[in-house]
Each structure stands twice: as C-alpha cells, then as structure tokens.
Amino acid sequence: MPEFDPADHDISEIGPKVQAIDDVDELRALLEAEEDGEDRAPVKQVIESRIENLEAEDEADDEGLVDLTDMSTAEAANAIRGIDDPDELRELLETEEAGEDRGGVKTQIQNRLDSVTEDEDADEGEAEEEPKTPEERHPDLDHPTADKRHVRAVEAGDYRDMWVYCETQQGELIDVSKEMLGKARQLMDDYNDEYDADEKVIAFVIGEDIAEQAELAIEYGADVALYQEDDRLDRFLHKPYTEIFVDAARGTGHPYGREDRPDVEWHGYDEPRYVLFPATNNGRDLSATVQAELDSGLASDCSDLHITDVLISNPAKTGEPGTKKEFERVLHMKRPDFSGFEYSTILCLDKPDREFHPQGGSVIPGAFDVPEPDPEREGEVVEWEAPLEDDWFGVEVTAHDQLDEGVDLTGREVIVAMGRGIGDDPSTGIELGLDLVDALEDADLGLSRGVITASYQFEGHVEQYITEERQIGESGQVVEPPVYIAAGISGAVQHKVGMDESDTIISINTNPDADIVDFSDYFIEGDLFEVLPAVTEALESGESIGAVAEAGGATDD
C-alpha cells in the first residue's frame, strides 16, 4: 500500500509529498494507485519524474560515471543533479565534448560544476560577497529610483499571529471580512494545537466611527481587534491606510518603525507571521502597498488556505544544492493558475540571506463561509493612534454620488450564466437568459468575463445587465448556488473558480469537448438560442430542470 492515497489530495499538495519520498517501490505503488484511481496526467508525471531522479542517482552510485549518451537534456540534468564530485563532473564534461557534444547537456554539467565548486569555495572560508543594490552594482547608470527609501526585511525576526485587514463599506464590515475572520480563527486554532502555541487572530479596521465594527470582529473570531478612527479616513486612501497598518504591524523597537511606538502587551514581536486582505478593489491595492513596505511577498486572489510544514530542495531556498530543508509553519495559499493546471499553491519562504514575513495573501470574496457571530465571545478591542501627516491626504473628495447597492449573486437558488455563445446575436442571447431567470424562483443572471470584455453591441433594456458586478469567476463573484446553468461558456479555469462549488451544474454548449463539460453534472449539446427557449417553455409548463435536460438529450457527467 502507498504511504498516502493520492485521490485525497489535489495536484498542488501531492508535489511536496512525492518529493519527500526516497523509496522507489513506494513511489511505484503510489503511481499504480493514481492510475487505478483519478489517473491524472500531471500527478503521474510528478511521480514518474521522482522515480527517474532516484533511479539516476542509484545508477550513479552503482556504476561510477554516468552514461549520458542516450539521455535527453532533461534526463541528463536529473542524472547529474546528485553528483557532488567536481572531478567526476569535469570528466563527464570532457566525455560529452568528445562525443555527442550537445550544448544543452554541457550547460547542465557546467552549471552543476559551478554550483559544486562554489560550495567548496564557501567551505574553504572564502568570504561571500554581500548582496548589492542595483545602484551599487551599476554606479555608472542613471537610476531614477536612487532616492527611494529601500526597506529591507528584518534579520532573525520574531514573527507571530495572523493579521486580518477588515474592510468596511458604509461603516460596516463587508462579508469577505467576516469570511476571512472565520477562516483565520480555524487556521490559528489548528495552528496552536499542532505547534503547541498560543498565537492570535488580530483584526484591524480603519475608517470613521468604526469602533463598533472592531467589537463585531471579536464576535467573528478575532482575539484582538484594532481600530483607528479619523474623519479623514472615511474613504480608502492608499497612503494613510498603508502607513497606519504598517505602523501597527511593526513591533516596538522595529528597525524601520517609529521610535515612539507604544509597547503593548498583545504585540511583543517584530512583524506578523501571516496577514490576510480581501481581494476587493481596495483590498488588492492595500495588500500590495503593505507587503511592499514590509518587504515581503503576496499571493493574490486566493481561494483556499492551510498551514503545514513543507520539505524543499530548491537551492535558492536551502542555500545548499542537493540538500533538502524543512520549512515550518508555512501558509499554503491556493489560487487559480494561468498555465493550464487548475490551481497553484503559493509559498512565501525565507532565503538563506533574507526573511520573508509576513506571509501574505488576498482572499477572493465568497471563498469561505460567513461564520455565525458569537456575541458571548471575549476579546480585546484596542484603539490605535498612529500619527497622521497632513501631506498623506493630498486628495479631497468634494462631492460624490451614492451608487445602487449592486448585484449580489451569492445567495441565489439558481444562477443563469451567459458566455461568448451569445456572439451571433448578443442582445437576443441575453434576453433568452433573462426569460429563463423569470421562469425560475429566486434566480438571477450572471456573466462570464468574455461577455464583459467583448465589444458586443447590446440594444434595448438588456444593456443595463452588462456590468462587471454580474461577472462570475476569479476576478468577479464566487457563487455556490444549488443550480448553476452555464449557457455558451467554455469553462476556462478563471470562470471555474467562481462556480465549481455549485451543487448542480448544467451546461449548454455546441462543443462537446468544451472544458466545462468535464465538471458539469448535466451537459446539453446544442445552440443556446434553441435550447434556452425550450427550457423556459418547459419550466413554464411545470417540468423540472432535470426533466428538461434529459429530454433535451443531455448526458450525465
């Protein structure tokens, strides 16, 4: 039996687990389990690559000099990765030059030789060159950022707690703020159990007259809720919001913090261990500026989070080629991947000469459930008083209009989503979608990004429905209705992340090989201009959606 069941893990989780296995037989059992189960090509590729690497290392140990003659460049790179003897590498290089003389293979050997000899030089006590700024490396060039203050990371810092920026609108916490607090509470409860620790969830609210919202953050999971009030903070402004957050995040005595920062009992460390922001317009802006000021990284638009240890062999992170290092307490930030896989998991790891904290990410609204508030929950509410400078408020809003409340699709029973399949007659396509919405109870219209960004011309009353607030997907709303009807939508991963948790997915498409078919419960092959009127008519006559789908020639997923 394999060490774990690959079917219980997604691709991003399996990679680190496979790299930690050194037993070829164990890996073969794992490969067999994957072939008998999910049979995912990327997973099998990861396992097979690990097997090849280990076999190449064994061959090098058993037979001395590796024979690279029949290997591809990639196979040769794997074969020499475990060789630490410079003489053996030089001999391989001479053999390749006298034989196949392939440029790619020679480059791989030379790179490995350079790495090994650099390690030898370091072991012999040669002083490593201190990292230099671009200005120091190229003093002859004109550097437009030469006067910019460069904030470096803390050295040997003390990091604790998970901070959550809680955004408000109209003076009240928005749902994603509550969602993040609930997720942060669950993460830190598990963290404290796993690491025998006592670290906290710290909520931070900034605005005007928002003390009550800080108290509410305690009910949703925070241990400590900070708030800073000022009538000039009633609207989000990059500079003051960034400065206030960073001022509070840095501990007393921080090398880049203010000298008169008060010493508070609940914050006895240099910087937060983790920090979360909402992936809203304002939250995305703030997350970038705060993390830049704290000199750390950022994973944007995350859809899931978990904390665990991870074994890494990347020499840029370990500092020693050919070795592995375990990084503890790593926040795994799952987000949509544009390279073709469904998701990537981002890790913010330290390097030998630099620490990256806080580990930070922005969270897609709707990615987590809104927890039930607990009015009996106890916590500490703190009014923060970062000094505010007048030149931070260079923009003054003299007048504004109040927009409508907008469109919230997250609570609907049914969503009818329209995609590029409306292209032959966009106005009629949207009209057909609205007709179906009217035939259903508690339904609303959603749109794919393709409809929003296309140059379609819409006529009549349907034009008012073509707005970004109806967009579903990575950069739009995330929905989980009981029924999701996708008409003319191909199913790109950016759209999938916004709706694949729906209970029942019915897709309508002329292309039976469209990506959306793979994650639909029902698929109707046909033109939406023909299928939607039939579905609407059948519903108005009293038939169920399932009956309509089956009658229309649908196939089960």
Three-state SS across 152-204?
CCCCCCCEEEEEEECCEECCEECHHHHHHHHHHHHHHHHHHHHHCCCCCEEEE
pLDDT in the model for residue 126: 46
Mean pLDDT of 434-455: 92
Pull the structure tokens for residue 374: 């607990």
Residue 368 CB neighbour total at 10 angstroms: 22
Strand partners, 413: none
Read off the pLDDT band of 68 (50, 70, 90).
Answer: confident
pLDDT tens across 340-388, in order? 446 788 999 988 888 899 999 999 888 888 999 999 999 999 999 999 9
Of the two residues 137 and 519, the one the predictor is more confident about is 519
Read off the pLDDT band of 141 (50, 70, 90).
Answer: low
Quick one: which of 204, 209, 202, 254 has its CA closest to 232? Answer: 209
The answer to whether residue 549 scores a pLDDT higher than 60 is no
Mean pLDDT of 113-121: 66
Average pLDDT, the chain: 85
Structure pTM? 0.59
Quick one: which of 424, 481, 415, 480 has its CA closest to 448? Answer: 415
The answer to whether residue 46 scores a pLDDT higher than 70 is yes
Read off the pLDDT band of 335 (50, 70, 90).
Answer: confident
Highest-confidence segment of 153-157, 269-273, 393-397, 473-477 = 269-273
Q: How far apart are CA 316 and CA 42, in angstroms?
A: 24
Q: How far apart are CA 201 and CA 337, in angstroms?
A: 29
- C-alpha to C-alpha distances, 379 to 167, 202, 266, nearest whole angstrom: 19, 10, 11
Picking from 216-225, 434-443, 477-486, 542-551, which range would have the lowest pLDDT averaged per residue? 542-551
Highest-confidence segment of 7-16, 151-160, 378-387 = 378-387
Q: How far apart are CA 481 and CA 499, in angstroms?
A: 8
pLDDT in the model for residue 135: 64
Picking from 199-208, 314-323, 541-550, which range would have the lowest pLDDT averaged per residue? 541-550
Of the two residues 422 and 104, the one the predictor is more confident about is 422
Q: How far apart are CA 442 and CA 391, in angstroms?
A: 49
Q: Do 298 and 333 meet the contact criterion of CB atoms below 8 Å apart?
A: no
Pull the structure tokens for residue 86: 């410079």
Pull the structure tokens for residue 41: 């090509």
pLDDT above 70 coverage of the chain, percent: 87
pLDDT in the model for residue 132: 62
The answer to whether residue 432 scores a pLDDT higher than 80 is yes
Query: Which amino acid would we find at residue 224?
Result: V
SS3 content of the chain, % helix, strand, coil (to 5): 40, 20, 40
3-state secondary structure at position 422: helix
Mean pLDDT of 218-223: 96
pLDDT tens across 256-292, in order? 888 888 889 899 999 999 999 999 989 999 999 999 9
The answer to whether residue 1 scores a pLDDT higher than 70 is no
pLDDT in the model for residue 545: 58
Of the two residues 202 and 155, the one the predictor is more confident about is 202
Residues 6+ apart with CB under 8 A from 553: 524, 525, 526
The answer to whether residue 540 scores a pLDDT higher than 90 is no
Q: Do 554 and 524 meet the contact criterion of CB atoms below 8 Å apart?
A: yes
pLDDT in the model for residue 41: 78
Residue 90 CB neighbour total at 10 angstroms: 14
Q: How many Å separate Cα 188 from the centre of its chain?
A: 19
The answer to whether residue 145 scores a pLDDT higher than 80 is no
Whether the CA torsion 243, 244, 247, 249 is positive or negative: it is negative
Picking from 26-40, 159-173, 227-241, which range would have the lowest pLDDT averaged per residue? 26-40
The answer to whether residue 306 scores a pLDDT higher than 60 is yes
Of the two residues 413 and 22, the one the predictor is more confident about is 413
**Sheet containing 224-229, strands listed edge to edge, beginning at the edge strand earlier in sequence:** 299-302, 359-363, 271-278, 159-165, 201-207, 224-229, 380-383
Mean pLDDT of 210-220: 96
Q: How far apart are CA 133 and CA 150, in angstroms?
A: 9
Picking from 7-11, 346-350, 429-433, which range would have the lowest pLDDT averaged per residue? 7-11
Mean pLDDT of 17-28: 82
DSSP for residue 140: T
3-state secondary structure at position 206: strand
pLDDT in the model for residue 303: 87
CA R_g for the chain: 28
The answer to whether residue 548 scores a pLDDT higher than 60 is no
Using CB atoms within 10 A of its CB, is residue 137 exposed (0-12), middle (13-18) or buried (19+)? exposed
Picking from 252-256, 309-313, 450-454, 546-550, which range would have the lowest pLDDT averaged per residue? 546-550
Strand partners, 331: 307
